[in-house]
Amino acid sequence: MPTFSFELYPPRSARSEAALYASLPDLVAAGPEFISVTYGANGSSREPSLDVLGHILQGTNVQAMAHLTCVGSSYAQASELIRQFLDAGVTSFLALRGDPPEGSVEADSFLGDLGSAGELVQLIHRVQSEREQFAFLEVPGFPAARRITRGRKVTIAVAAFPNGHPRSRSISQDLDTLLAKEAAGANLAITQLVFHADDFLGFVDKAREAGVTMRILPGIMPVLSPQRLKRIIELTGEATPVELERRLLAASDEAEHHRIGIDHAVALGQEVIAGGATGLHLYTFNQHEPVLAVLRGAGLLDRQKEHV
Ligand code: FAD
């Protein structure tokens, strides 16, 4: 059975915080493989991200995945950040370089010590293994500690870009970058939003030919309005899905926008699974109804597990 997972972002106001925690039980009840929580560029959301992760870790039995970015950090700062998340109980990460500030060049020293996501993957492994050794020495009666800490392997996911990263010069550079992330120790890839099944499936074929063996999950979002589509395209640099845009623009009300966005995501989910995807990673916008409707439409939701 294909898996599914969800992405949340840290709330930015008391109102959105309340809405998120009202949605979380329904997302958890659906039985996701993991729930990931985004991290603001330059550490702007460290505490709010940790709060959301803490809710998942303490209140549910779902794996909580922390996105981390490293652009602008020294090795010492990035190591400290990783330690802080490990101390909070996180053992699953999405390692990202993050976007350098507009107008910067690679030689700018303020971009920090880590030049790629692959270097962050290596650093997470190093900090995790140092921490295990430390726990091994610190805890009295260390044979027990050895049993506890040994084998608590971290999951380290990375980003993949089926249509090419905006800074990439060619598809082979994207494939080489993904291969380098796996060589650094990544064991899962999650893609940038995809709108067409062929983009994802063609990319997976090329990645396998290039030697990438880790699982690759397609990033899918039900796009519920023309305004949201425009914003997503601005943020990701992806090409506009012309047919989806045309249908959203032609629709006259919110209910129809929702139906179009959900139908599009259902069809996409079904096509990628038929093509061999082992799961779907759903961008939730912190709302449970649309993504649960997508899973229901794609036949991935166990009705027994539904909260409502
Ligand atoms: P990298 O893989 O290191 O690089 C990205 C690409 O840039 C490479 O594929 C390569 O083609 C090119 N490249 C790398 N180095 C160079 C170089 N020196 N010269 C030229 N080209 C180069 N951002 C956030 O701030 N917070 C988040 O929580 C977040 N979550 C995300 C989740 C997913 C699933 C995805 C797909 C993206 C997310 N992003 C997030 C956005 C991400 O930070 C940006 O896309 C960023 O530009 C790339 O990060 P990366 O880890 O892929 O970097």
Domains of the chain by start residue, with CATH: 3-125+152-306 (3.20.20.220)
For residue 143, count CB atoms less than 10 angstroms from its CB and return exposed for 0-12, middle for 13-18, buried for 19 or more: exposed
Indicate which atom in ligand 1 lies nearest the CA of residue 177: 9
Say how many Å lie between the CA of residue 10 and the centre of ligand 1. Answer: 19
Tokens in use for 306?
A: 């539904």
Protein residue with least CA distance to atom 44, ligand 1: 98
Res. 279 pLDDT band, cuts 50 70 90: very high
- Would you say residue 145 has pLDDT above 50? no
CB neighbours of 225 closer than 8 A, spacing ≥ 6?
Answer: 248, 254, 257, 261
Atom 43 of ligand 1: nearest residue by CA position: 98
N residues, the chain? 308
Query: Is residue 139 scored above 90 in pLDDT?
Result: no
pLDDT digits (tens, 9 = 90+) for 41-69: 777 788 999 999 999 999 999 999 999 99
CB-count exposure of residue 144 (10 Å: 0-12, 13-18, 19+): exposed
Q: Is 301 in the pocket of ligand 1 (CB under 6 A)?
A: no
Rounded to whole angstroms, how far apart are CA atoms 73 and 94?
A: 16
Task: Report the percent of the chain where pLDDT is more than 70.
Answer: 92
Quote the ipTM score. Answer: 0.93
158 CA from centroid of ligand 1 (Å): 9
Question: Looking at ligand 1, which residue's alpha carbon is closest to its atom 26?
Answer: 39
The answer on pLDDT for 291 being more than 70 is yes
pLDDT tens figures, 187-228: 999 999 999 999 999 999 999 999 999 999 999 999 999 999
Q: Is the pTM of this model over 0.90?
A: yes
For the Cβ of 41 lying below 6 angstroms from any atom of ligand 1, the answer is: yes
Average pLDDT, the chain: 91
Query: Closest residue (by CA) to atom 39 of ligand 1?
Result: 98
Look at residue 130 in the predicted model and tell me its pLDDT. Answer: 87
Predicted confidence at residue 146, as pLDDT, reads 43
Q: Which of 61, 66, 70, 69 is nearest to 92 (CA)?
A: 66
Percent of the chain scoring above 90 in pLDDT? 81
226 CA from centroid of ligand 1 (Å): 25
Under the banding of pLDDT at 50, 70 and 90, the label for residue 107 is confident
Residues marked as catalytic: 7
173 ligand 1 Cβ < 6 A:
yes
Identity of the residue numbered 125: H
Task: For residue 247, report the distance from its CA to the centre of ligand 1, in Å.
Answer: 30
> 132 C-alpha vs ligand 1 centroid, how far in Å?
29
Cα→Cα distances 9→4, 25, 67, 99, 200, Å: 17, 16, 10, 17, 24
Query: Residue 96: CB within 6 Å of ligand 1?
Result: yes
State whether the beta carbon of 97 lies less than 6 angstroms from ligand 1: yes
Average pLDDT estimate for 19-44:
93
